[in-house]
Every structure is written in structure tokens, then in C-alpha cells.
Amino acid sequence: MNCFNRFLRYIAIDTASNPTSATHPSSPGQLILGQLLVEELQTLGCENIRQTKEGYVYATVPGNTNRKVPTVGFIAHLDTSPDMSGKDVHPRIIPSYDGQDILLNEKENIILKVSDFPHLKNRQNQTLLVTDGTTLLGADNKAGIAEIMALAETLMKNPTIEHGKVQIAFTPDEEIGQGSDFFDIPAFGADFAFTVDGEEEGSFNFENFNAASAHIHIHGNNIHPGSAKGKMKHALLIAQELQQMLPVFENPMFTENYEGFYHLNELQGTVENAKMHYIIRHHDMVAFNKQKTLLNSIVTFLNEKYGAGTCQLFITDSYYNMASLVEKRMDIIELAKTAIRKENLLPIIKPIRGGTDGARLTFDGLICPNLGTGGHNFHGKYEYITKEGMEKAANILLHIVEELSKEK
């Protein structure tokens, strides 16, 4: 399936979400991309196509079988991460990649190194798509969008492929934790779904972090440094003290697999006021709750040390580990494994060190594990994807539809 050209078209639109926006969606580019997808879905002849005011795009590929077949959904998100610019993306296509380091940007001396990313060796002789080192590429998650659209095109143009109804959704603001806020599960009408939002083709995820966001406001007291003794309360230094009281190695720089972390995502301020933003992550719910308890205890201690109200802590849970619910539907897990094997790949099953729309949707009643897109190094300038990986990822979606349509 040709999803590569679609992907190049979609990444030309800046859809970075904005975590400080009060609008839904948080950025206008998401509406622009959504409208383009609506038009393409209409051209394909899909049904029930609509874009909501919050930016969600829904569509149906009608079934063509008389047999009772479960309705599967496929979901990808419109936005790219605000961690790095997604504007004016200048991708470079590297045919027959030679397995060596890639100079992304000569002026800035930005190099995609095999020593840093050994999985590049596995992409030798494939067609790579890379950035110029100044922006994201946008594979997270426009690759997923392109693959779902390629699936829709294949099914609509090939009526000999017997299949049940397939539901499609593209969501806004996944990268800022709001992707499922206005998702209409009943109207979507799928019995279960997959987000197409993972990395390497053949990867399959049904475990993810439990996640929370912690905002801390520290109130200091600024006094002229010449007469500050006994009077000054330095908000930035208190923030530094708070960070030092957290476990040193429970930090993204030192953790992997099932290990959790506290990530100081933002610190800004002055002597008078400081603000900190943490994301808290752990796969294990007991350990996750202990993390939040520890942060509360540290804030309590600092308020006792520096005075009541010095530190204000606001913790909001973002999403939970979907494994406990997905594992009750082993048929869905086995379906994904079968589809991956049909593409001559071994299923790569590992926990997501992050989250997807599917995590929240699963807890809202729509079982929704995650499939790989063929992309790598998301959220940074070293992001890349291969044409071959995208095609395999799109074929896996088709295999899922075909497997569901087989007579049991």
C-alpha cells in the first residue's frame, strides 16, 4: 500500500499541539489537516465522514460481507509534539540507505549516528526519510494517519477483499494528554480498536505507564541581598532543594523497561516565585501511588521548614495502564500477533514508556492497544522512518481486517 506519498503531504502541515492553549483543538493546523483528511475520505467514498468542532475526524469504511464480523477501529492523532517545532518540515529521502552515519544539517553539524541509534543498521538498503535537524519529522503520528488512510483506500478500491465494517478516527491533542477528552465512543461504533501510534513495524503494545502531572508553585520572599539574612526566602533554591530530595535514579536518563520516573519538564522563576512541572510515570499502580505520596511528603516537609503555603502542589492523574483490561481480551492480542506474523515479522511486544489515546479509551470502555508505524526517535530532531516500514505497518492493518473476516 502506498502510504509514503500521503505521509509527505501530511507533514507539510504544522499541527504541533499547544499545552498552554484553552481551545480545542489547541492549534489551528490540526483543523486544517483534519479538513484535508475529510476531503480525501470523501473522495474515497467512505461513509459517515465528519469533523467535530473540537477537531475529531470520524469515518466508516462500510463492510461488504453478509457474515457477522466484529467492527474494528483504527485511531491516530493529528498533532505532533510541542517539544520541538513541526513547522516548515524539510524531509530528506535517502534511497538504499548504506548503514552509515547521516549528516542531517551541515551548518549546525547535526549527525544521526549509528553509534547512538544502533537500530539504523537494520534499515540498510531501505528508503529512509529523515529531518534536516531543525524540526520534528512528524511520524508521530502522521505516519499512523497515512497508514490508516492507505488501508481505507485499499478496501474501498478492492471490493474483492471481503471485510466487515471498519471505523476510522483521527484525534487532536494526544501529545498534551487531551486526545480522548471529546472522543465519542458510542458514535464511533467499534467493538474494539487499535491506535496506530507505535514505533518499529511489528511492535505491539498493551501495557503503558500510569501517568500523572504535578504542578508546583513556590512562593519566595525577595529582599535586597545586602540585608537578606533571616529574611530572604529564595524560591528557585527551594525548587532546587525539592528536586534533590527525589530519588536520583528515578529519572528518565537512568530508567528503562518497567522502571518509573519523575521528570522535571519545566522550571522557571525568580527569587520571589518559581513554578515547576513534573510528569510522574510508573507501570505498577502501587509504585505509582507511592511516587505521588513521596512528592506530597516532600512538599509537606518544605512547608514545615520554610513556612505554611511556601509550596503548593497540584497533582492530576492523566491515564492508567491499560494492561489490566486488555489482558482480559486475549483474542485481540492474538489477532494482532497473527497479523504481524503474516507480514513475516516477529511481534515485538513491550511496554510503552509513555501513553496513547488508547489507554484512556480502554478505561472508558473501548479496548484499544497500540500498533507500530515504522518510525523511530520520536519527539526529537533525530526522528526517522522508512518507506518499507510504513508499508509493512499498513499491511498489518489489512491483515487484521482480513483475519476478522475469516469464517470461524
The residue among 352, 348, 320 whose CA lies nearest residue 206 is: 352
The active-site residue, picked from 79, 140, 147, 197, is 79
Cell of 368: 484499544
> What are phi and psi for residue 214, nearest 5 degrees?
-120, 125
| Dist CA 390 CA 394 (whole Å) | 6
| Dist CA 246 CA 193 (whole Å) | 38
Q: Residue 76: which residues within 8 A CB-CB, separation 6 or more?
A: 141, 142, 144, 145, 147, 148, 170, 171, 195, 196, 197
Give, rounded to a whole angstrom, the gap between the first and last alpha carbons of the chain: 27
Q: Which helix (H) or strand (E) holds 394?
A: helix 387-405
**Amino acid identity, position 11:** I
| Dist CA 250 CA 406 (whole Å) | 47
Give CA angle at 206 (54, 122), nearest 5°: 100
In the block, which residue shows the cell 527525589? 246
Judge whether 79 counts as a catalytic residue.
Answer: yes
| Dist CA 286 CA 122 (whole Å) | 38
| Dist CA 42 CA 358 (whole Å) | 26
The active-site residue, picked from 174, 175, 201, 357, is 174
The residue among 148, 96, 67 whose CA lies nearest residue 406 is: 67
| Dist CA 69 CA 89 (whole Å) | 41
**Amino acid identity, position 222:** N
Residue 94's Cβ-count burial label (10 Å; 0-12, 13-18, 19+) is middle
| Dist CA 217 CA 350 (whole Å) | 36
Judge whether 174 counts as a catalytic residue.
Answer: yes
The residue among 61, 53, 43 whose CA lies nearest residue 172 is: 53
Phi-psi group of 125: left, alpha or beta (phi > 0 → left; psi -120 to 50 → alpha; rest → beta): left
Cell of 362: 480502554
DSSP class of residue 46 equals -
Positions marked active-site: 79, 174
